[in-house]
Structure 1
Amino acid sequence: MTHPGGRKPPPSGYDAELRRHGEVLRRACRVGPRDRFLDIGCGAGTTTREAARAAREGEALGVDVSAHAIERARALARAEGLGNVAFEQADAQVHPFPEEHFDLVISRFGTMFFADPVAAFANIGRALRPAGRLVMMVWQPHERNEWELAIRRALGEPSPADEGGPDAFSLGDPEAVREILGAAGFADVAFTGVEEPVYYGPDVPAALDWVCSFTSTARLLERLDPGAAARAMERLRETLAAHLDDDGVRFGSRAWIVTARRP
């Protein structure tokens, strides 16, 4: 799982950042007690384990390209005594999942970085039984996300540049996503807007460390000379301070819950 800024973050920080988004996704998934489900880009497995507890008579498989995240996910599942969940290091774009096996595929910001999204979603769709559901959360376009705009402005980059890296907003356009999923064999594609804050830490120093761990932040800073980088960091610090309240440093965000089914 790659973070919206293009990084592979420590699991605890990423889960804290997206806690409210996870709650929305959990409600949207409506996991049944006997469901067999697949979690794409599961990271350290928080969303997988939560859904596995609901599918107490079913089974769960979480996949992620990060070996470290999968090791962590397995350790946490063992510690929680979850016997109906497994984790595999795998690229969901090409992994040979069992065909027509799962009732449900879920993902929390784990599907935006596919090199060939039609082929990737077709591969995932083949793993769903007929009438099986896809429920994924993706970011809306960058201009609707305060966290993206504020960080870029603070660093002197008011709009996304062609950085050649992962595009966190690649599935933000509903019309384009309908075309992708339709070409991949899905039907009944629908979108529900989500407006929840992202959480960057309890105070400004913690939030600054967190934002500086984003690959996109590092790339922007690398373009600057030392003096300009120092000034950009100070602007970033001020931006984070302006978003500090009693609950910590938070920014507005907008995402989609995208649902579809295999015919």
Structure 2
Amino acid sequence: MVDRGNRVGPDSNSVFDYDAELRRYRQRLSDAIDVAPEDNVLDIGCGAGQTTRDAARIAIRGSALGVDASSVMVAHARRFGAADGLHNVRFEQADAQVHPFPPAHFTVGISRFGTMFFADPVQAFTNIGRALLPGARLVQLVWQDGSRQEWVAAIHRALVGGAPPAPAAGDGAFSLADPATVDGVLTTAGFTDVRVTDVSEPVYYGADPDAAVDAVPVLHMASDLLAQLDADETERALERLRMVMAAHSTTDGVWFDSRAWLVTARRSRT
């Protein structure tokens, strides 16, 4: 099932602002996709639909479909799409691992950190591949290992006072952190010409330390840790978190270093 894996819940009204967090990666993905006016684009794990709408604005003689497991995010995406007056964009609540997409329909598949949470990645990418025309491109961003994410270490250390444990192999947001794993999954799923490129951009957590502290508890990473603390411990943990956010605060907001892989591939022509 495709889900971001770090909301309070798939239908929670408290939703982390991924578009703000990932704003520096927006252009990286857009440049790599290189959407054409005639393209039909499939956006996997689209969240609130920013990347889908970006594609639709360029694919003026084509279309863009965004899918996400969260009904709340899809509702946001539909509202934003309507507000933008885009008539060639659609959003569906769907599990991309099993959803019956129209076969061989899409000319481009894209994802901004939306493909790391499949229960069966090979099945998921095989299903996505069936929806793509032979030779169509798949372009996605996925996180590198958690040990390379400043935000992971800083938030964990602030909330529990120690470094985070090494993630289990294939775990959650970092399940595609190993380029060899990515290559193996995509090749088995029927993709060719797999390329994995190192990219690094800071991620945004709020306009100021207070806003960042308010935003972080929505993340599963933080809410799971806070759930283990009593009221006094929680207060102290949030104060430590505020100090960390203050240390990363700039005139342009609160930022943390991050590293990702830009993964490109093509659906096999056979």
Pairwise TM-score range, normalised by the shorter structure: over 0.9
Q: How do residues 170-249 of structure 1 correspond to structure 2 at under 5 angstroms?
A: 170-249=175-254
Q: Counterpart of 1:152?
A: 156
d(CA) in 2 for partners of 1:218, 1:113: 18
d(CA) in 1 for partners of 2:15, 2:31: 22
Residues 186, 260 of structure 1: 8 Å contact kept: yes
Q: State the TM-score, normalized to the length of structure 1.
A: 0.93
- 2:59 aligned to 51, 55, 62, which one? 55
**Paired AA for residue 171 in structure 1:** L
Q: Name which of structure 1's ranges 67-76 and 24-33 shifts more when overlaid on structure 2.
A: 67-76
Residues 4, 117 of structure 2: 8 Å contact kept: no
How has the CA–CA distance of structure 1 residues 197 and 103 changed in structure 2, closer, same or farther, with 3 Å as cutoff? same
Q: How do residues 14-163 of structure 1 correspond to structure 2 at under 5 angstroms?
A: 14-156=18-160, 157-160=162-165
Q: How many residues matched?
A: 262
How has the CA–CA distance of structure 1 residues 20 and 10 changed in structure 2, closer, same or farther, with 3 Å as cutoff? farther
**Paired AA for residue 40 in structure 1:** I
d(CA) in 2 for partners of 1:49, 1:219: 32
**Paired AA for residue 262 in structure 1:** R
Q: Counterpart of 2:262?
A: 257
Question: 2:97 is paired with a residue of what secondary structure?
Answer: coil
Per-residue CA deviation, residues 73-124 of structure 1 (Å, 9 max, x unaligned), is 1222122121111111111010000111111100011100000001001000
Q: Name which of structure 1's ranges 154-163 and 122-131 shifts more when overlaid on structure 2.
A: 154-163
Aligned-pair distance for 1:54?
Answer: 0.9
Question: 2:138 is paired with a residue of what secondary structure?
Answer: strand
How has the CA–CA distance of structure 1 residues 243 and 196 changed in structure 2, closer, same or farther, with 3 Å as cutoff? same
How has the CA–CA distance of structure 1 residues 2 and 250 changed in structure 2, closer, same or farther, with 3 Å as cutoff? farther
Question: 2:114 is paired with a residue of what secondary structure?
Answer: coil
Question: 2:74 is paired with a residue of what secondary structure?
Answer: helix
How has the CA–CA distance of structure 1 residues 152 and 117 changed in structure 2, closer, same or farther, with 3 Å as cutoff? same
Per-residue CA deviation, residues 8-52 of structure 1 (Å, 9 max, x unaligned), is 686782211111111110111000110011000111111000011
**Paired AA for residue 127 in structure 2:** N
**Paired AA for residue 121 in structure 1:** F
Gaps of 5+ in 1: none
Gaps of 5+ in 2: none
d(CA) in 2 for partners of 1:241, 1:140: 25
How has the CA–CA distance of structure 1 residues 200 and 192 changed in structure 2, closer, same or farther, with 3 Å as cutoff? same
Identity rate, percent: 56
> Aligned Cα RMSD in Å?
2.0
Residues 37, 61 of structure 2: 8 Å contact kept: yes
